[in-house]
Structure 1
Amino acid sequence: MTDSEGNTVKFNKAAAAGTIALASVLALAACSSDGSGSPSTSTSTASKPAAVDYSSLSGTLTAGGSSAQANAQAAWTAAFTAQASGVKINYDKSQGSGGGVTNWLNGSYDFAGTDAALSADQFTQAQTTCGSAGGVNIPVYLSGVSIIYKLDGVSKLNLDAKTIAEIFAGKITTWNDPAITALNSGVTLPSTPISVVHRSDGSGTTANFTTYLHQQQPSVWTWDAGTAWPNSIGSGQQGGSGVVNTVAAGNGTIGYADQSSIGDATAASVEVGSTGKFVAYSEAGATASLDASGVIDAQGDGDLTVAIDTTKITSAKAYPIPLLSYDVLCKSFKDSAQGKLTAAYLGFIVSSTGQKIGAKNAGAAPLPASFQTKAADTLSSIK
């Protein structure tokens, strides 16, 4: 059985998290994190913080946005509410990043999931939504943008940044183009036309992907990075599931999607820089890529907007197209109890425990420890 995003295996795993015994969840929290976002120490002699007791919390959180976060949010919700039985969390993945931010700015959501940090204009608009303190971007979810394809008879494919950019810019139009064959010695590539599939809705996944294209190949990918697909090449589809399903239904198709949403789709290995090393997605590879390429570029006090420079990803152990997703929330809530509840849930997400749950149930990559610590610090100040 598949869900509306077409993520059979991943969604089932996330749903299964709801059956985790409370004792098991608390044991995991106790041995790995205090649940507030402070990462566990790597030294065996250091004392380990006690688990946070969420059992007294109650209320309902209403949120939505990023479909990339959907499987992780399902797992996080199940694990958190196993400890906080009086809490209900509604996360609407159908909105996508753009819709999630819009609904949050309109005051409909307690927080929004987005694969692109708030823009400068949105950050300013948040002062209307939240009051003068405004909002903050909190990194919560790390994955990778996978280049998925469907080409009969071809189960393995290497692509480099220039070739990917030329395909999605419409400059390479057949699968046996010399640029592709040169990267795939021993693979028989047909003359099948290439059918590009991209997002039609405002998408943070698109923002992450186009950031990579523009940074790596600015002479080919001349459009600026952004949440909207910038050209008329190929077929636009709603949501990550729309891209995945359209690629899977065709032959000669190629698209991009968050790794956690691709299901059984075949993904290409991508060259790291100009190293000649072609890397498949891995959790460790995504963490390594953010460690190498990401720095905090705060838009305000406590904000954790991350600037990613993919040209700094040079290790063959790193996956070259990282996808970093945020939850955005107000720094000060009109209802302080709602602010406390929102901060508690997001604190659980960014804790060592929450990151392990996201990795186990959604194939997410753990955020680097420094990002977990910064996120916990910001969330501790939410009012």
Structure 2
Amino acid sequence: MKFKNAAAAGAIALATALALSACSGNGGGSDSTSTATASKTAAAVDYSSLSGTLTAGGSSAQANVQQAWTAAFQAQAGNVKINYDKSQGSGGGVTNWLNGSYDFAGTDAALSADQFTQAKTTCGADGAVNIPVYLSGVSIIYKLSGVDKLNLDSKTIASIFSGAITTWNDPAIAALNKGVTLPSTPISVVHRSDGSGTTNNFTTYLHQQQPSIWTWDASTAWPNSTGSGQQGGSGVVNTVEAGDGTIGYADQSSIGTATAAAVEVGTSGKFVSYSEAAATESLAQSGSITPQGKGDLTVTIDTTKINNAKAYPIPLLSYDVLCKTFKDSNQGKVTAAYLGFIVSSTGQQVGAKNAGAAPLPDSFLSKAAETLASVK
């Protein structure tokens, strides 16, 4: 799904209107002190005085939202150019950033402990910080003739993607979809072939929910030989859509017209389809900040804590990673300003309206604004 010019215009118009509201001194109608703090932090920056070029890349899940944020930010910072390369995936983005090629990296998995240590070589003694910027969900997409609605639970999903369930009329699937005629079509699993934070979020869910079936630890790399691997989220979506009997996983914002299954919350018998509100509720229930260093906002997600039908069971949280101290102070200033815009209430509304992003909880936005204010 490419970002349309009309949508870019909408992002610009929304950002301008919200920025004017934030500067009016009336609080913009926000009912949250922390969101107001984040907005004021962004509004205090004189974007028009900024200049420079930011080079970044990584998470394909962030592709659409980065286009929305870039369009809206550049409307207020006309002398700033932002290049975000979605083709690298989270793994390639982090590698390029650690090599010094990017000002920041987009990744759906926070830096590992080893990468966090490596970042001191890239950034200097102050190291790096993970900033949560984008919230969505991992959708289970499928293409099966005659079936346009499907319920799946964690046990069945883990069994399908591990290769234990191989046909669509398997009794385990049929039990969840009474009244649906399921064909004997073989199941064709499609997964990411590249290092992928979406894979990390998905395998976190599988291992937490069904450790006896999904015996592999969470990882950015697909851990087994089941199915076929495809490059990027778009590769997974296109392959699922081109087949019959196919199933895969992808960030919700990238699935386009693909059909997504409803997923059971725990063992409640309640099957939930993705929505922005359900993703926000999911992170509020399952996420806690577990810093790896001063100012870092790594989030630990425990999907077993998601316990009601207001929440989507497979959250996807994505970060932007940057140095705390830049070798070029202007690059640090511009990068912090752009990411500060992203985590403001204005930026989050731009992402929601133009790319289907779920707003991050207010407490996350407030902490992100505080960390970015210390970047130099």
* Interval containing the TM-score (normalised by the shorter chain): over 0.9
Q: 1:74 aligns with which of 67, 73, 87?
A: 67
Find the counterpart in structure 2 of residue 244 from structure 1: 237
Find the counterpart in structure 2 of residue 289 from structure 1: 282
Partners of 2:300 and 2:221 lie apart in 1 by 19
Distance 1:104 1:74, change over 3 A: same
Partners of 1:21 and 1:117 lie apart in 2 by 30
Moved more, 98-107 or 17-26: 17-26
- 1:14 touches 1:72 (CA, 8 Å); kept in 2? no
Q: 2:317 aligns with which of 306, 324, 330?
A: 324
CA distances 1:276-317 after superposition (whole Å, capped 9, x unpaired): 000000000000000000001111111100000000000100
1:1-383 equivalences under 5 Å are 7-8=1-2, 11=4, 14-17=7-10, 20=13, 23-27=16-20, 29-30=22-23, 40-42=30-32, 49=40, 51-52=43-44, 53-383=46-376
Distance 1:30 1:319, change over 3 A: farther
- 1:272 touches 1:314 (CA, 8 Å); kept in 2? yes
Q: Give 3-state SS (helix, strand or coil) of 2:185's partner.
A: coil
Q: Give 3-state SS (helix, strand or coil) of 1:20's partner.
A: helix
Partners of 2:257 and 2:21 lie apart in 1 by 30
Distance 1:369 1:152, change over 3 A: same
Partners of 1:351 and 1:154 lie apart in 2 by 41
1:49 CA drift (Å): 4.6
Partners of 1:242 and 1:177 lie apart in 2 by 27
1:30 CA drift (Å): 3.9
Q: What TM-score, normalized by structure 1, do the two folds share?
A: 0.93
Q: Which runs of 5+ in 1 are unaligned?
A: 1-6
Distance 1:21 1:354, change over 3 A: closer
**Runs of 4+ displaced beyond 2 Å:** 10-35, 39-43, 46-53
1:32 CA drift (Å): 10
Distance 1:11 1:23, change over 3 A: closer
1:185 CA drift (Å): 1.1
Of Structure 1 and Structure 2, the greater helix share is in 2
Q: Give 3-state SS (helix, strand or coil) of 1:189's partner.
A: coil
- 2:340 touches 2:369 (CA, 8 Å); kept in 1? yes
Moved more, 333-342 or 218-227: 333-342
Partners of 1:148 and 1:367 lie apart in 2 by 24
Partners of 1:241 and 1:11 lie apart in 2 by 17
Q: Give 3-state SS (helix, strand or coil) of 2:218's partner.
A: coil
CA distances 1:129-175 after superposition (whole Å, capped 9, x unpaired): 00011101000000000000000110000000000000000000000
Partners of 1:103 and 1:80 lie apart in 2 by 24
Distance 1:227 1:142, change over 3 A: same
- 2:282 touches 2:313 (CA, 8 Å); kept in 1? yes
- 1:33 touches 1:351 (CA, 8 Å); kept in 2? no
- 2:97 touches 2:105 (CA, 8 Å); kept in 1? yes
Report percent identity of matched pairs. 79
Partners of 2:11 and 2:311 lie apart in 1 by 32
Partners of 1:155 and 1:271 lie apart in 2 by 17
CA distances 1:88-145 after superposition (whole Å, capped 9, x unpaired): 0000011110110001000010000000000111001000000011101000000000
- What letter is aligned with 2:314? I
Partners of 2:242 and 2:236 lie apart in 1 by 10
Q: Which runs of 5+ in 2 are unaligned?
A: none
Partners of 2:24 and 2:157 lie apart in 1 by 43
CA distances 1:224-267 after superposition (whole Å, capped 9, x unpaired): 00000000000000000000000000000000000000000000
Q: Give 3-state SS (helix, strand or coil) of 2:233's partner.
A: helix
- 2:8 touches 2:72 (CA, 8 Å); kept in 1? no
1:13 CA drift (Å): 5.7
